[in-house]
Amino acid sequence: MKKGILYIVATPIGNRDDFSPRAVETLRQVTMIAAEDTRHSRPLLQHYGISTPLTAFHEHNERQVMSRILGRLDEGESVAVISDAGTPLISDPGFPLVRECHMKGIRVSPVPGPSAAVCALSAAGLPTDRFIFEGFPARTSQARQKQFQALLKESRTLVFYESSHRIRHCLEDMLLVFGGDRQAVIARELTKLHETIISAPLDDLLEKVKQDANQQKGEFVVLVSGAEKRSGDTLDSETERVLRILMEEMPLKQAAAVAAKISGGKKNRLYKAALSWVEKESGQSG
């Protein structure tokens, strides 16, 4: 018997008009919609005239409901999964079900739409060529700081979800670990009436949030610029200053060795940096 299809359907993250026609049509066609919170989804579905039966499918009953969904799919019926907002499985339930479908040879088909992380990234003004999505940071300050420490040297743009209860403390911990100069963005209430996107160094950003209670309300995506990659010939400004002075007084190798002793840096790295400056400067003058 031909098996049904499991559709993973994205719903709006605020603005109802972001519901795609294909998402609406798919939800009308399936025989059952597994929704994270049926009370939350019902008004949206009613607004679009979708009367397909709804079943609650959340992290507390995921295993139980999963077997019912798999049973339906085995019998050839198609089922859709939706979450409260955005793309299911992205910091939302559904992963065990999708994995099980793959193992059982049941087709899983995504019906794409909004996701707060990508939506925020597209408008944040931080590099988007490479990014990592970290979901919700840990709930306690100690665990959060540990998590951020592990990301300190990460050069890709960091993307987090955060709730209104923790936004301020989260930014305080980010400031502590990444430093006040690191550029960050909070994207709040995306696609909704009070949408705001603020980009600033972490110390300014925290100050703005502290001073405006409205900036602590709603839903947030927090993005942090990746750590700057130090290329071979980039040194911190003090080491560079010392090395340049020494280069005027002694041979390159010796200057690198002495500067390494003063700065605590690696002799080889300093030598390579000095060499690259000499090459660059002789290229410019020649």
List interacting residues with ligand SAM (CB under 6 A).
13-14, 83, 85-87, 90-92, 115-117, 161-163, 187-192, 219-221
Query: Angle between the 267-285 and 252-263 helix axes, to the nearest 10 degrees?
Result: 130
Beta-carbon contacts of 163 under 8 Å, excluding residues fewer than 6 positions away, are: 136, 219, 220
Distance CA 10, CA 19 (A): 8
Nearest distance, CB of residue 147 and ligand SAM, angstroms = 16
Distance CA 250, CA 239 (A): 16
- Beta bridge mates, 11: 86
Nearest distance, CB of residue 96 and ligand SAM, angstroms = 16
The two most distant CA atoms of the chain are separated, in Å, by 85
Rank residues 163 and 234 by Cβ distance to ligand SAM and give the closer one.
163
Nearest distance, CB of residue 136 and ligand SAM, angstroms = 7
Whether 202 contacts 175, CB under 8 Å:
yes
Nearest distance, CB of residue 50 and ligand SAM, angstroms = 19
- Which residue's Cβ lies closest to ligand SAM? 86
Rank residues 111 and 255 by Cβ distance to ligand SAM and give the closer one.
111
Query: Given phi > 0 = left and psi -120 to 50 = alpha, else beta, which region is 221?
Result: beta
Rank residues 7 and 271 by Cβ distance to ligand SAM and give the closer one.
7
Nearest distance, CB of residue 64 and ligand SAM, angstroms = 21
Rank residues 14 and 265 by Cβ distance to ligand SAM and give the closer one.
14
Rank residues 45 and 186 by Cβ distance to ligand SAM and give the closer one.
186
Residue 53: both structure tokens together: 């039966």
* Closest residue by Cα to residue 33 from 2, 12, 13, 11: 11
Rank residues 148 and 271 by Cβ distance to ligand SAM and give the closer one.
148
- SS3 percent helix, strand, coil of the chain, rounded to 5, is 45, 15, 35
Nearest distance, CB of residue 258 and ligand SAM, angstroms = 51
